[in-house]
Amino acid sequence: MQLDSLDWALVIAYFSIVVFFGLMYARRAGKSLTEFFVSGRSLPWWMLGTSMVATTFSTDTPNLVTDIVRKNGVAGNWTWWAFLITGMGTVFLYSRLWRRSEVLTDVGFYELRYSGRGARFLRGFRAVYLGLFFNIIIMASVTLAAIKISGVLLGVDKYTTVIVCGVITAAYSATSGLWGVVATDCILFVLAMAGSVTAAFYALQHPEVGGLAGLLTHEAVLEKTSFLPDFSDWNTALVVLIIPLAVQWWSTWYPGAEPGGGSYIAQRMLAARDERHSLLATLWFNVAHYGLRPWPWLIVALCSLVVFPDLDSLRQAFPHLDPSILQDDIAYPAMLTFLPHGLLGLVVASLAAAYMSTISTQVNLGASYLVNDLYRRFLKPEASDRHYVLIARLVTVSLVVLAGLVSFWLENALQAFNILLQIGAGTGLVFLLRWFWWRVNAWSEISGMVASFSVAIYFEFVHDSLGLVPIAPQWQLVTGVLVTTICWVSVTLMTPPCDHATLERFVLKVRPFSRGWKPVLGDRKIATSSLSAAILSWFAGVAGVYSALFGTGFLLYDNLLPAALLFTVFALSAGLLWKLLPQTADQ
């Protein structure tokens, strides 16, 4: 599939916009680390929330959704839909607390909350663990998707894709800091949404699909459209729905869906103008991410089952592709090859936008950890801000290079998703409780991370090599959660609590819900939000977004009665949230 002059004009126009914003914000971003990493804490909620959505709108996301649908149907997406529960908890229980902390990164939180050598070690360890290891895996997964898309649409080999994308993204990200990232993300979100909707529309127009009615009656699709798994197949129901809703959402750390907030979600909350903007930004993110965006991807994925029913059909259609990357997730870019010129350029530009928004956020975040929480904190604490910004830019380029190298090792988006889930299995609960239970200390988190990482490495590289009976991924996840939780709770109870003065400073600054801080506060009272209003808002938010998601699905399926009922629930939930919002502020 070759792009014509109109296609290239659209792609070049997109890159020109990116370069413009990079240059426009270069001087402001270079003033200090606060400007470079959290935009001077002056951004409004709508920019921050849209930036969060754009970051999760990465090139690997539609590939991942397509992979899931082709294997487990629409219902298989509960493996990430379940994280809405986590996200809404962050909105109403944690977003204000993060903004009050006024740290530069979520890793900097550790020396605000904990004390002693454990806190110092945790900050440095977490900076490397997240800034280097986790960050590279995420960026490699996104780069792998770019390799597959460029291979299908442009016939470009993986080495050329990695070099070209890496050079452009590194140059842009190292120049503009978070200012340029957030400003550009607002444009990229609109472009990416337009591209995904266009892709869905033309996928339905394919002669073999026959429109929406033809798609939903096709024998290859009939068993894939349900929102819930087939409960007669207990094993599939367990994997697809029960474990995600019962265990995964609260126990697993995953970028963008961290229990209690973290990574780039925390970075955006810390960059907000005030607590209210922090809450509204995360609320808009969760509404858009889970309620607004999924259906264009789902439609393309379902259409791909008609046009490319199996891997053999994909292999025959794209014989030039590297066999090591030809998996079910390749079906999404395969469907884009049917777009007419002009629109093809729009979609390619939208996919480039999705790639750059994610990579630019991740490299900025990774650099913030490695520079602010490792280099500045432990290696060179007395240098100027100009020096630190220079180091941040060098680290940005290095991270892009490493991610490109790792992308050659991965095979599909689902593989990377499962690896990240397993590595973070069991750590989520400690991230939730550290704000509300005074007894949690630095060693709680250190032991949890070490345990979860060890279990992940064992299952990924050791278990099968020993010739033992294979363990299904869902049971690997549950095992990781169980082992990690037992480990960190035991360590918490066996180690001394944090220094009382540190805990007292933390409580007075952040003002969390006071019930778990009685041993620290004694009889003193502090201004806090209403816990009951926050919890009720949490449930209303979850109900509202799920209602919008599935109401839209029923509407597309031409099942009008359940669609009307679900949109009614959405309206009632929105009304309840509007009424409760003032009560979530401090009283």
HEC per residue, 445-509: HHHHHHHHHHHHHHHHHHCHHHCCCCCCHHHHHHHHHHHHHHHHHHHHHHCCCCCHHHHHHHHHH
- 424: confidence class by pLDDT, cuts 50, 70, 90: low
Other CB atoms within 10 A of residue 38 CB: 24
pLDDT tops 80 at residue 422: no
Give the range among 27-31, 128-132, 325-329 with minimum mean pLDDT: 27-31
pLDDT tops 70 at residue 516: yes
pLDDT at 432: 92
pLDDT tops 80 at residue 330: yes
- 214: confidence class by pLDDT, cuts 50, 70, 90: very high
- 544: confidence class by pLDDT, cuts 50, 70, 90: very high
pLDDT at 440: 95
DSSP state of 477: H
Cα 137 to Cα 145: distance, rounded to the nearest angstrom: 13
Q: Coil, strand, or helix at residue 310?
A: coil
pLDDT at 304: 94
- 551: confidence class by pLDDT, cuts 50, 70, 90: very high
State pLDDT tens for residues 448-465: 888 888 888 888 778 878
Mean pLDDT, range 420-436, rounded to an integer = 79
**Prediction pTM value:** 0.89
Structure tokens at 540: 């209303």
- 351: confidence class by pLDDT, cuts 50, 70, 90: confident
pLDDT at 586: 60
pLDDT at 266: 93
pLDDT tops 60 at residue 31: yes
Question: Looking at per-residue confidence, does 255 or 582 come out higher?
Answer: 582
- 227: confidence class by pLDDT, cuts 50, 70, 90: very high
pLDDT tops 60 at residue 412: no
Question: How many Å separate Cα 281 from the centre of its chain?
Answer: 15
Q: Which of 302, 296, 289 is nearest to 358 (CA)?
A: 289
pLDDT at 235: 81
Mean pLDDT, range 60-86, rounded to an integer = 91
What kind and span of H or E run contains 154?
none
Half-sphere exposure of 301 (CA within 13 A, CB side): 26
What percentage of the chain reaches a pLDDT higher than 90?
Answer: 41
DSSP state of 254: -
pLDDT at 487: 93
pLDDT tops 70 at residue 421: no
pLDDT tops 80 at residue 155: no
Question: Looking at per-residue confidence, does 279 or 359 come out higher?
Answer: 279
Q: Is the Cα dihedral 385, 389, 390, 391 positive or negative? A: positive
Question: Looking at per-residue confidence, does 333 or 151 come out higher?
Answer: 333
The residues, any chain, with a CB within 8 Å of residue 122's CB and separated by 6 or more, are: 110, 114, 442, 445, 446
